[in-house]
């Protein structure tokens, strides 16, 4: 815009200067022509006066004095009597000259034409004298052109100076015109003093600015809503462009790949994960093929659902959804294992019961043998019933189907009751069982807490060494009540500690069978602790014993 204004002003200035110069030259030429005619008339008046007073001798006296004017005396016959520039005798008859004819007829004549004698254009003025002759004066019009030519250099200098001045003034004026526009505050144009002609434009800019600001606010609000929603999604969300570069990634997806979401937009997806199966799924998606499959990555299981995004028939990107199904698959595996374990654990006592019953049925045992077989059937049936009750209890804990209300419970008192129930079993194995601590109250269900304590103490006694020790302590720490059961038993190897609370999981299956364990005790302990919103911790070293701590919220 600045260049156009400057160019327009310079062009206008140059055209104006050229037109003014041309007009001035034309006026100057006319003025010089008038001056020439006036001078010629003055010379004619002087020449007529001198001729009429002094005769032809006057004309002879001015021969060679005036180099610009020509004086010719013509007789009525047209014969040239005198000429100050040429030999009159050799000159042709001038009777046919228009100015001469007019002078003889009306007393004065004028004319402009090329002179054959002098070879230039002349202006003629002829006047009849008292003696009947015609005195003609002429002057070269070349003198006007000469004067004009002498003025051209001056005019050219003046024009050049004016053009330079026009350039400078145009630049200054252009900046003055543009400055208010450049200084205009586009956010608040209505507060800027501008030209009245620009008021409609300023008004439209103001309205457009308001509309743009409103759109920006709407987009910002939508972006914030989108970010807030996606950042709180449990599912991982990744949006890719057509080249596989990340457009946006939410917190869950970044956490799944153990990276920071702020640094990822604009980077290729391969920077996030090197999992070949995942990269193949992304590649197929960007080729227009939706994908849904399970991805194993970093000890995690994810269900990938990827959908290509089409724009005018071409793939413009892809949307990836990652669902963490690690716990779901683990639970499915646990259920399968639980089903298999239940089938196996129930089958063993049932097989024994059926075998002993078949012996009795076929009367293959009598007397003391029959009584012994009946006792084994009773023992196996008791183990089977205990296992079924434990399974039912676990099912109830899983479903949260406990209808007993919580109450204020003295955990030390419940610990002493549980210890009293198992003291005889400890004595039989020479185990020293001690209960210590402070009176501490929690909110809980006494029956479930007693079961938790019995299972912990029972395991500590069963998996202890001969003449070992079991210490049960109740500790109060700020707003926590800590239940701690420590034994000097065989301990749990580190590779088994993560799974020790799973159902039917046994570190040493042969030892568990010998002690009559079902493999459900610690699983029940974990579920009861979880039901009471308590934190369960395990510390154990193989051959050094085991310590289990449960932190309850104090009442």
End-to-end CA distance of the chain: 81
Consecutive H or E run containing 438: none
DSSP summary character for residue 463: T
CA angle 357, 359, 363 (to 5 degrees): 115
Query: Which pLDDT tens digit goes with each residue over 178-216?
Result: 776 666 666 666 665 666 666 676 677 777 877 888 888
Consecutive H or E run containing 522: helix 521-531
Across the chain, mean pLDDT equals: 78
Determine the longest span between alpha carbons in the chain, in angstroms. 200
DSSP letter for each residue of 382-416: HHHHHHHHHHHHHHHHHHT---PPPEEEEHHHHHH
Q: Is the pLDDT of residue 104 over 70?
A: yes
| Higher-confidence position of 122 and 514 | 122
CA distance 322 to 302: 6
Highest-pLDDT range among 53-62, 142-151, 388-397: 53-62
Q: Hey, how many other C-beta atoms are within 10 angstroms of the C-beta on 550?
A: 23
Q: Is the pLDDT of residue 95 over 80?
A: yes
In this prediction, residue 281 carries a pLDDT of 85
CA distance 258 to 142: 100
From the list 124, 149, 128, 10, the residue with the least C-alpha distance to 70 is: 124
Name the one residue in this structure whose structure tokens are 């400078």. 168
Query: Which pLDDT tens digit goes with each residue over 436-475?
Result: 998 899 998 888 888 889 889 988 998 888 889 999 999 9
CA of 291: how far to CAs of 287, 315, 535, in Å? 11, 15, 40
Chain-centroid distance, C-alpha 262: 12
Domain boundaries, given as residue ranges, for the chain: 2-148, 233-324, 329-395, 405-553
In this prediction, residue 510 carries a pLDDT of 46
CA distance 411 to 434: 15
329-395 has which fold? Helix Hairpins (1.10.287)
Q: Is the pLDDT of residue 505 over 60?
A: yes
The domain 405-553 is placed in CATH, from the list 3.30.930.10, 3.40.190.10, 1.10.3720.10, 3.30.565.10, at 3.30.565.10
Q: Specify the CATH class of 2-148 in words.
A: alpha beta
Would the CATH topology of 2-148 be identical to that of 329-395? no
Q: Specify the CATH class of 233-324 in words.
A: alpha beta
Q: Describe the strand order of the beta sheet including 80-83 as a list of residue ranges.
A: 80-83, 69-74, 134-140, 120-128, 108-115
Least confidently predicted of 133-147, 202-216, 501-515: 501-515
Least confidently predicted of 26-40, 46-60, 314-328: 26-40
Q: Using 50, 70 and 90 to split pLDDT, how confident is the model at 432?
A: very high
> Percent of the chain having pLDDT more than 90?
8
DSSP summary character for residue 92: P
Q: Strands (DSSP E) along 97-251, which ranges?
A: 108-115, 120-128, 134-140, 236-241, 246-249
Query: Which pLDDT tens digit goes with each residue over 292-330?
Result: 888 777 677 888 888 898 888 888 888 888 888 777 777
Give the mean model confidence (pLDDT) for residues 48-71: 73
Q: In the structure encoding, which two tokens stand for residue 46, read together?
A: 């002087």
Strand partners, 135: 73, 127
Instruction: Answer yes or no: are the C-beta atoms of 423 and 495 closer than 8 Å.
Output: no
């Amino acid at each position: 815009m600045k260049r156009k204004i400057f160019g327009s002003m310079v062009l206008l200035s140059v055209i104006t200067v050229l037109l003014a110069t041309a007009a001035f030259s034309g006026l100057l030429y006319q003025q010089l022509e008038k001056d020439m005619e006036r001078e010629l008339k003055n010379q004619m008046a002087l020449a007529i006066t001198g001729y009429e007073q002094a005769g032809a001798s006057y004309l002879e006296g001015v021969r060679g004095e005036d180099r610009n004017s020509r004086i010719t005396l013509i007789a009525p016959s047209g014969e040239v009597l005198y000429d100050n520039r040429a030999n009159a005798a050799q000159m042709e008859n001038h009777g046919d000259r228009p100015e001469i004819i007019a002078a003889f007829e009306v007393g004065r004549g004028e004319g402009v034409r090329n002179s054959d004698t002098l070879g230039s254009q002349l202006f003629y003025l002829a006047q009849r004298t008292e003696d009947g002759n015609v005195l003609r004066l002429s002057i070269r019009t070349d003198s006007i052109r000469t004067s004009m030519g002498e003025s051209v250099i001056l005019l050219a200098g003046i024009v050049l100076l004016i053009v330079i001045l026009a350039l400078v003034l145009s630049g200054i004026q252009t900046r003055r015109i543009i400055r208010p526009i450049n200084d205009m505050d586009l956010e608040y144009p209505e507060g800027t003093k501008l030209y009245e002609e620009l008021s409609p434009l300023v008004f439209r800019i103001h309205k457009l600015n308001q509309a743009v600001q409103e759109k920006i606010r709407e987009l910002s609000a939508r972006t914030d809503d989108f970010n807030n929603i996606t950042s709180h999604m449990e599912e991982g969300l990744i949006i890719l462009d057509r080249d596989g570069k990340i457009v946006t990634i939410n917190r869950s997806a970044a956490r799944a790949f153990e990276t920071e979401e702020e640094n990822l937009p604009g980077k290729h997806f391969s920077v996030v994960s090197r999992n070949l199966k995942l990269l193949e799924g992304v590649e197929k998606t960007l080729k227009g093929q939706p994908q849904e499959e399970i991805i194993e990555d970093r000890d995690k299981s994810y269900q990938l659902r990827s959908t290509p995004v089409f724009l005018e028939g071409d793939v413009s990107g892809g949307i990836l959804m990652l669902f963490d199904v690690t716990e779901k698959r683990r639970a499915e595996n646990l259920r399968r294992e639980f089903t298999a374990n239940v089938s196996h654990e129930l089958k063993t006592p049932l097989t024994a019961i059926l075998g002993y019953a078949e012996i009795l049925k076929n009367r293959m045992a009598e007397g003391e043998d029959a009584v012994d077989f009946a006792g084994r059937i009773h023992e196996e049936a008791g183990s089977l019933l205990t296992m079924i009750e434990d399974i039912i209890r676990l099912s109830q804990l899983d479903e949260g189907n406990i209808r007993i209300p919580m109450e204020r419970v003295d955990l030390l008192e419940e610990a002493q009751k549980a210890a009293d129930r198992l003291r005889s079993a400890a004595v039989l194995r020479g185990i020293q069982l001690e209960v210590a601590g402070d009176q501490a109250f929690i909110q809980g269900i006494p029956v479930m807490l007693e079961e938790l304590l019995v299972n912990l103490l029972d395991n500590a006694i069963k998996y202890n060494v001969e003449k070992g020790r079991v210490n049960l302590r109740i500790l109060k720490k700020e707003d926590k009540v800590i239940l701690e059961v420590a034994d000097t038993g065989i301990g749990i190897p580190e590779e088994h500690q993560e799974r020790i609370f799973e159902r039917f999981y046994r570190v040493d299956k042969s030892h568990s069978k010998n002690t009559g364990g079902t493999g459900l005790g610690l699983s029940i302990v974990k579920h009861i602790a979880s039901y009471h919103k308590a934190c369960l911790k395990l510390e154990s070293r193989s051959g050094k014993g085991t310590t289990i701590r449960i932190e309850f919220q104090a009442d």
